[in-house]
Structure 1
Amino acid sequence: MRLALKAEDISKQYRLGQVGTGTISHDLNRFWHQIRGKEDPYLKIGETNDRSQKGMSEYVWSLKDINFEIEQGDAVGIIGKNGAGKSTLLKLLSKVTKPTTGKIFTNGRIASLLEVGTGFHPEMTGRENVFLNGAILGMTRKEISRKFDEIVDFSGVERYIDTPVKRYSSGMYVRLAFAVAAHLESEILIVDEVLAVGDAEFQKKCLGKMGDVSKGEGRTVLFVSHNMAAVKKLCNNGIFLENGKIKSIDNVDNIISEYVSVQDQKNLSVVIGNKKAELKNIELLDSFNAERNTFFMNEPVKFRFTVKFNEDYNNLDFGITIKDNYDQIVGHLTNMDEGFVINGKSGEEKTYIIEVAGFNFTPNSYNLNFGIVDGSEWLYVVEDYTRINILKDESFLRPGDMPKHVMSFYKSNWKEI
């Protein structure tokens, strides 16, 4: 098989709060070392891009020592937590920015959709932007004209094709941008989170088209998404990034399993608050009191946790916030909504259990955040403690139930045990 892409020891360094190195003295220092044939002095400094820890250096390695090869016709999913370096990697591969070190080899033209409206000129019409994007890819006007009707039909914005794209909604923008990237004759298609915008019908259409591009047309697809179901459906291989480094490269099923297992691990290392009351032993339980992280839609879920009181408190607010992969709140539970009182004396520990009839979120993985608050005083907050995975199963759906992806306040039963 022919190689489509190859990354050889690529790294990307940023200076926090600056564009480039930020000062003329730094740039001159780099240049002086370069003309003397010496190593860039700033490559020896910098920290891993771990957002959960407070760093000491103003230099951060967004990516470090990345090596991989992608064969022509492969569909590769790039997954990892927010801040893992996924978007930076796609920008390097798309040649939007240059790596600090290393080399990237490509075989063929690249069409990339890195964010809504990439490469579009807001003052130009949709029609003009289609031809502009084609020209950027090195296509002739005749080649673009041959694909034009197919692009417009796929995008569904025919009525507004001669309207300046600055007047488009974000959904219209991404529809046309994706249609252009997917239909113009590039050998490599790079897509970053296009499914984050648009309705369910368009998301399904995008996945189908990317599948056709990869399997039917033999073109190479790189796809970044937090939607594991979409990655599994489209891709045959995967790259798992963590803190700017490659954690593993494998077939997509193994990569997703590894990613989910890492995300399901509990994390009490990042805590906000004065710890006048502390959370201990937070557990997710099923109806049989077995601890697990994966549940079907509307399957009953229990949260069991212990509060250690380091001062006397009469009425604390305990909350669970559920967030999707874009850090948007989709669900919230609090004892205040149910009229349940949490109190205790200094040195005392109490265990509580919350019973929820089930969550009808869109099947996916969600981050769980827990916190104890006294009025406006944050006592103990733990973010991204673990994840809850919601699967679809018709046996748990009640008549009229529809998956939701909006903030929901659920009825729950609270008790001290």
Structure 2
Amino acid sequence: MKKDIILKAENISKQYRLGQVGTGTLSHDINRWWHLIRGKENPYLKIGDTNDRSTKGTSDYVWALRDINFEVERGEVLGIIGKNGAGKSTLLKILSKVTAPTTGSIKSRGRIASLLEVGTGFNGEMTGRENIFLNGAILGMTKKEILSKLDEIIEFSGCERYIDTPVKRYSSGMTVRLAFAVAAFLEPEILVVDEVLAVGDAEFQKKAIGKMQDISREGGRTVLFVSHNMAAVKSLCTKGIVLEHGRVVFKGDVEDCISRYYMSDYKESKNEFLGIYELKNHRDKENLFGIYKAELFCDNQLSDTIYAGSMFKLRLYFDSCRDFYEGEIGIVIKDSDQISYLGLNNKHLGTNIIVKEGKGIGEILIEDFPLFANGDYWINLYFGDKGPNYEGLENAIKFKIIGEDVFGSGRKLDTAWNRIVHKKISIKTI
């Protein structure tokens, strides 16, 4: 069966010069022009740092995006996820034709409506009603088409009382409500939505996600959705792409994309299948101590899989530049939606930990593991001294939980019971 491709990105790259508008200098513009008339490549495409906001870099040029390729089918809801600064908003601006790519091309079929930032495309001096007509005209709608949807747009936005008030007097939430209603109800073939929905209240977010689902499922329209709310991405999207430092590092089913997104702080190990995790050697802010390795055991066997009701043991290897006598070792276990299921440390158990200078080992033992649902889980690790100096490793360990016949009924557990016997938990140093 032939694919019905409505949007295609081919080798999209975007380069910026830091601290400057445009190319920044006349000499660079002349140099580009001189290469162009001789039929040669732009010389500044050969330079530039990777888009990593956490490093200083050596060049004034940075690649916000590099060699982005993907296709979107009609009726598909594509989630675009990644950390702040990964290039998501830049990509959406290129797809919406707000800015042009440095290299590559976008091919699309049909109108594109975008909701990129609070108030984008709105004139603050004009009323909400006037802005509906303005945005509709920008989208290529006739006045008759806009009038036919006007009442629905106003009702959905929930701003009826203020619809004839200048938009500059709207709150950011009201502005987003009206902007989303315009973009959704004027029936574009492709709807592009950035993180702006987070500005709205819970009731509006629920309505907006429901509307996007209706648009894609019933209207056969395409949605590109960017959000840091993974629960919303999971419920709305069918496919996804993960951006890191301006590049696509993964694309596929949305659940696999979310899992890969959480792995951005997680260092894979060749021994991972054995339950051995070589961790990034993070240190506390004064560089006094850090965890460098972890081992996960199920019933005293190294494993990355824990069976419900089994013995769970996590062994942490750390080093310290000094002694401390009121140490803390703790974990938080989260599901694939990053919802915390269990958090504990030795202080909760009323035990004290003494850490000696040099290398050491800590151990967290749960003899009767909580009866969580089947699936992938993540562990945050916490280690440190009493006071402000703590090391926290987010999503340091990924493991799987599998239900077992813990009650001897002949049926394996596949839903969460969250049963835990606190007397069988211990945290200690070895």
Provide closer, same or farther for how the CA distance between residues 44 and 146 of structure 1 changes in structure 2, counting only shifts above 3 A. Answer: same
Provide closer, same or farther for how the CA distance between residues 227 and 293 of structure 1 changes in structure 2, counting only shifts above 3 A. Answer: farther
5 Å-filtered alignment, 1:249-268, equals: 249-256=251-258, 258-259=260-261, 265=267, 268=279
- Residue correspondences, number: 398
Cross-structure match for 1:406: none
Report 1 or 2 for greater relative contact order, CA contacts < 8 Å, sequence distance ≥ 6: 1
Q: What TM-score do the two structures reach when normalised by structure 2?
A: 0.73
Larger radius of gyration: 2
Provide closer, same or farther for how the CA distance between residues 105 and 275 of structure 1 changes in structure 2, counting only shifts above 3 A. Answer: same
Cα deviation for residue 53 of structure 1 reads 5.0
Counterpart secondary structure, 1:83: coil
Task: Pick the aligned partner of 2:293 from 271, 281, 284.
Answer: 281
Cα deviation for residue 78 of structure 1 reads 1.9
Provide closer, same or farther for how the CA distance between residues 204 and 243 of structure 1 changes in structure 2, counting only shifts above 3 A. Answer: same
Q: Which shifted more, 174-183 or 272-281?
A: 272-281
Cross-structure match for 1:14: 16
* 1:49 equivalent in alignment to 2:51: yes
Cα deviation for residue 95 of structure 1 reads 1.1
CA contact (8 A) 1:277 1:307 kept: yes
Cross-structure match for 1:86: 88
Cross-structure match for 2:198: 196
Counterpart secondary structure, 1:153: helix
Distance in 2 between residues matched to 1:128 and 1:324, nearest whole Å? 46
CA contact (8 A) 1:270 1:382 kept: no
Task: Pick the aligned partner of 1:122 from 121, 124, 131.
Answer: 124
Cα deviation for residue 375 of structure 1 reads 5.9
Cross-structure match for 1:65: 67
5 Å-filtered alignment, 1:202-351, equals: 202-256=204-258, 258-259=260-261, 265=267, 268-269=279-280, 271-273=282-284, 275-282=287-294, 305-315=316-326, 342-347=353-358, 349-351=360-362
- Opposite residue 292 of structure 2, the aligned amino acid is K
Cross-structure match for 1:27: 29
Cα deviation for residue 202 of structure 1 reads 2.2
Q: Map Cα deviations across residues 286-326 of structure 1 (whole Å, 9 max, x no partner).
A: 99999769999xxxx9976344222233445778799999x
Output the aligned Cα RMSD.
4.6
- Opposite residue 215 of structure 1, the aligned amino acid is R
Q: Which runs of 5+ in 1 are unaligned?
A: 359-363, 399-411
Cross-structure match for 1:147: 149
Cα deviation for residue 255 of structure 1 reads 3.9
Cross-structure match for 2:404: none
Provide closer, same or farther for how the CA distance between residues 240 and 53 of structure 1 changes in structure 2, counting only shifts above 3 A. Answer: same
CA contact (8 A) 1:190 1:221 kept: yes
Cross-structure match for 1:100: 102
CA contact (8 A) 1:318 1:373 kept: no
Q: Which shifted more, 331-340 or 369-378?
A: 331-340
Counterpart secondary structure, 2:131: helix
Distance in 2 between residues matched to 1:251 and 1:295, nearest whole Å? 26
CA contact (8 A) 2:77 2:238 kept: yes
- Opposite residue 282 of structure 2, the aligned amino acid is V
Provide closer, same or farther for how the CA distance between residues 351 and 204 of structure 1 changes in structure 2, counting only shifts above 3 A. Answer: same
Distance in 2 between residues matched to 1:348 and 1:272, nearest whole Å? 14
Distance in 2 between residues matched to 1:198 and 1:388, nearest whole Å? 35
Distance in 2 between residues matched to 1:58 and 1:365, nearest whole Å? 41
Cα deviation for residue 366 of structure 1 reads 8.4
CA contact (8 A) 2:282 2:290 kept: no
Cα deviation for residue 39 of structure 1 reads 1.1
Q: Map Cα deviations across residues 191-226 of structure 1 (whole Å, 9 max, x no partner).
A: 112442333332222122112211211222111223
Counterpart secondary structure, 1:20: coil
Q: Which shifted more, 198-207 or 85-94?
A: 198-207
Q: What TM-score do the two structures reach when normalised by structure 1?
A: 0.75
CA contact (8 A) 2:318 2:360 kept: yes
* 1:110 equivalent in alignment to 2:122: no
